[in-house]
Amino acid sequence: MKTILIAALCAASVAHAQTSWKLATGYRAESFHTENIAQFARDVKAATKGQLAIDLAPNGSLFKLGDIRQAVEEGKVQAGETIMTSMVKDIPIAGADSIPFVVGSYKRAQRLWELQRPGMEREFAQRGLKILYAVPWPPQGLYTTQPVKSMNDFKNIKMRTYNQTTVRLAEMLGARSVDVAMVDVGKAANEGRMDAMITSAVTGVENKVWGPLKHYYEISAWFPKNIVFVNAKAFDALAPDARATVVKAAAEAESRGWVASEAIAQSATKELQANGIKVDRISAELESDLKRIGERFSREWVRSVGHGASDIFVPYYFN
């Protein structure tokens, strides 16, 4: 009787201790961001001895990229990953990493994240969310079907967009914006639905855009970040040691992700070239056009964000 009772108690406590989270992302399983999350999930599972399993739902299979934050907030799914700029309507400071021509290197992108993170933590906490980590996409370059020399070459062309920054830029350039999710970029390019887009080299590689798109200009416009987060109630329900494990594994995932992003920035550009895309610098004229547009964008952004903007950018520029 005693053994049966003990066995039953053990089974019950094991069952109680095992938790599983679903983590929704809008990107593909083979995306370097998603592979990094998969590693994070394996690390958490091993370090908690199976107490916490994180199951990935990639490719927008549970929720669309732009709906993921809301879904985690509402507890429809425990955890998620999205691109920070997808939430600028509700959290304006989330857009700090997509202001054109502010950040020109991974080091500066890191500094920006340090300054942006406290405000983001507050915004997330108010919504019952906990940030796990953030990792940038490689620098954003300009893809085109035809060579471009100045702003005039953008008049009325179809420009693929993925966030408010790209929509506003298309508008300022006089182009027509076409919203295409990252996973549909290859298809849209092949169907002639875009003449230009601003995104990373790796996104071009993942979607095999060679063929329709012929030029890639390394303008390093910005370094947008993906953010991985969890519903705070789900996090708080973990045992304290499991919580500490998740936080530690998240910090490791963040460091690992930044290194991977930088490495892939190099290799992906080479891969575009190897597949026939002409990798070029932009003309001085287009560079100054884009710089002017960037400045205009910055002014609009600061005006719309207010204090939150100076909290980030005063130390960014002056400390």
- Enumerate binding residues for ligand PCA (CB under 6 A): 83, 137, 162, 182, 199-200, 203, 224
CB half-sphere exposure, 289, CA atoms < 13 A:
17
Residue whose C-alpha is closest to residue 94's, from 66, 71, 75, 72: 66
Q: What's the min distance (Å) between Cβ of 290 and ligand PCA?
A: 17
Other beta carbons within 10 angstroms of residue 292's beta carbon come to 12
Q: Whose Cβ is closer to ligand PCA: residue 182's or residue 213's? A: 182
Q: Whose Cβ is closer to ligand PCA: residue 141's or residue 308's? A: 141
Q: What's the min distance (Å) between Cβ of 100 and ligand PCA?
A: 13
CB distance 282 to 293 below 8 Å:
no
Tell me the residue number closest to ligand PCA, measured at CB.
200
Say how far apart CA 85 and CA 224 lie, in whole Å: 7
Q: What's the min distance (Å) between Cβ of 191 and ligand PCA?
A: 17
Distances (CA, A) of 34 to 55, 56, 226: 12, 8, 10
Q: What's the CA angle centered on 249, arms 123 and 201, to 5 degrees?
A: 75
Q: Whose Cβ is closer to ligand PCA: residue 48's or residue 82's? A: 82
Q: What's the min distance (Å) between Cβ of 143 and ligand PCA?
A: 10
Q: What's the min distance (Å) between Cβ of 140 and ligand PCA?
A: 6
Q: Whose Cβ is closer to ligand PCA: residue 83's or residue 87's? A: 83
Q: Whose Cβ is closer to ligand PCA: residue 44's or residue 205's? A: 205
Number of residues in the chain: 319
